[in-house]
Structure 1
Amino acid sequence: MRLVKQLVVVGAASLVGSLAVGAVGGNPVLTLVLGVATAVLVIFAYRWVVRRTERRAVDELSRPGAASAVGRGVVLGIALFAAVIAVIALFGGYEVDGWGSASGAVTLLGFSIGAAVTEEVVFRGVLFRIVEERLGTWLGLVLTGLLFGLMHLFNENATLWGALAIAIEAGGMLGAAYVATRRLWLPIGLHLGWNFAEAGIFGTIVSGKDEAHGLLDATVSGSTLLGGGDFGPEASLAAVVAGVLVTVVFMRLAYRRGNVRPRRAAVTVAP
């Protein structure tokens, strides 16, 4: 029941923010402001509903060190996607055609902030955390990662391979970042940095969605495994490998910190 209540409250907050962002017609400054407002509203809603349904402190969104954790995540996300683009460019699949749009980059930053916070709160804060309590860390990562990937099938130009790639590279990596830290700030920053780098900096398609133009006007070409095809670089082999490698690093850190939880044993009643 608490799962449903938390999803409803967080989903309602996200919907209000999304409607507000959509109503401004792509105005860069307003989109950025409303993207930040959406993030704040979703975080407030999550804290409120968790306190009411679980009667505990919301440690996964505690304030001390939040800014630095988000900052580290953003830097890591941008660096990771830059490495993916570098590999694609090395094999001739990425070419910069010129400068894009600074205002478009600001618009994409607003979208990215709202989306990163909302998706991490829903998938890692609510779904993964509650599933993990019953099924353990590994099964929780697999199930919520697959669900996260399948959600992207509703995007324009979505493909089954693209959704599976998202499940592996993002569902696994972001979930592992949460397990390693037991806080949502690092995965929020990582998600934000990765998404903004895709469209806002390198001017590529994000998860099948051809959004506003970012700082660079670029062309991604080649096979699906090289450049990701119509789904964008997230469906490339380089992105999948990068996501898997970072997932392994985070999970090793989680093991050292004792953060990996076993599956809860079934309760049996003696006859």
Structure 2
Amino acid sequence: MIGLGLLFAAMRAVGTLGPAGWRALLPLSFVLMVITPWVLLSKDGRAQIGLKAPSRPLINYGWALVLGISAATACFLLGVALFGTTADNWFASYQRAMNTTGFSLPMLHLAFTLPAALFSPIGEEIFFRGVLQRTLEMRLSERASTAWECGAFGVVHLCHHGLFWGATGLSIHMMSGAMWVGLMAATAWEFAVIRKRSGSVFPAVVAHAGFNVAMNVGVFGVLRG
């Protein structure tokens, strides 16, 4: 499973930082994350990683959505307060990395927000909060496993802010990149707590989707304007 995690991280790096022709590797990595438990785990194994109905679904899904949106709002406000709309703002750099010329606001959300609410939340929560968390718990304590899993989640998001590949090669935004890793690790910890308390990865998926939708509302509705 650790090897799979490294493979998915490499696919993300190439899919975000590599040539435009390799962009499909990013959504493909999410799809592979989703199918991994059905290929490698038994029915009992899938239940152990949280692929089951949550306890008190209405409460858990409701709070998960609120917490995900709140986390994205906090990240957005912190980025604007510290960096304005410069390239050091993690959400502003996300917007600049996409070719949105000629897109209306509804088209932007259809093309980018809808996939962001589906692919990465489902794939990443099943893999990070499910498969990877359970794999680490076979060797480490639950708390240490969560720390490693959330740290890995934060580091792979350097591909989205912190590392940039341009005409002059690889560049690094050291300070804002380090802050972004910390914010993503903290957000992942929130998702891990939601998964633990609900007994299921599905409320964490909802929280993650809420985060991504709120993020894109900020990116396209505020920063783009």
Q: TM-score, normalised by structure 1?
A: 0.51
- Aligned to 2:138, what secondary structure does the other structure show? helix
Cα distance change on mapping 1:86 and 1:143 into 2, 3 Å: closer
Cα distance change on mapping 1:67 and 1:157 into 2, 3 Å: same
Whether 2:207 is the aligned partner of 1:190: answer: yes
| 1:189-237: CA deviation from partner (whole Å, max 9, x where unpaired) | 1111112211x2122xxxxxxxxxx3x13379xxxxxxxxxxxxxxxxx
Aligned partners of 1:41 and 1:154: how far apart in 2?
A: 19
Q: Which amino acid letter does the alignment assign opposite residue 105 of structure 1?
A: H
Query: How large is the RMSD of aligned CA atoms in angstroms?
Result: 4.1
Provide the residue aligned with 1:58 in structure 2. 46
Unaligned runs of 5+ in 1: 27-34, 95-99, 204-213, 221-271
Aligned partners of 1:155 and 1:87: how far apart in 2?
A: 17
Cα distance change on mapping 1:138 and 1:189 into 2, 3 Å: same
| 1:73-132: CA deviation from partner (whole Å, max 9, x where unpaired) | 3343124433555677899968xxxxx611111222213310111111221111111112
Provide the residue aligned with 1:269 in structure 2. none
Provide the residue aligned with 1:218 in structure 2. 223
Higher RCO structure (Cα 8 Å, ≥6 apart) = 2
User: How far off is 1:141 after superposition?
Assistant: 1.4
Whether 2:173 is the aligned partner of 1:150: answer: no
Whether 2:151 is the aligned partner of 1:160: answer: no
Cα distance change on mapping 1:48 and 1:65 into 2, 3 Å: farther
Count residues with an aligned counterpart.
178
**Aligned partner of 1:170 among 165, 187, 194:** 187
- Aligned to 2:192, what secondary structure does the other structure show? helix
Aligned partners of 2:179 and 2:222: how far apart in 1?
A: 26
Identity %, equivalent residues: 19
**Aligned partner of 1:81 among 72, 75, 82:** 72
Cα distance change on mapping 1:123 and 1:88 into 2, 3 Å: closer
- Aligned to 2:44, what secondary structure does the other structure show? coil
Instruction: Report the structure number with the largest CA radius of gyration.
Output: 1
Cα distance change on mapping 1:178 and 1:67 into 2, 3 Å: closer
Task: Give structure 1 regions of 4+ aligned residues with deviation exceeding 4 angstroms.
Answer: 37-42, 63-72, 83-94
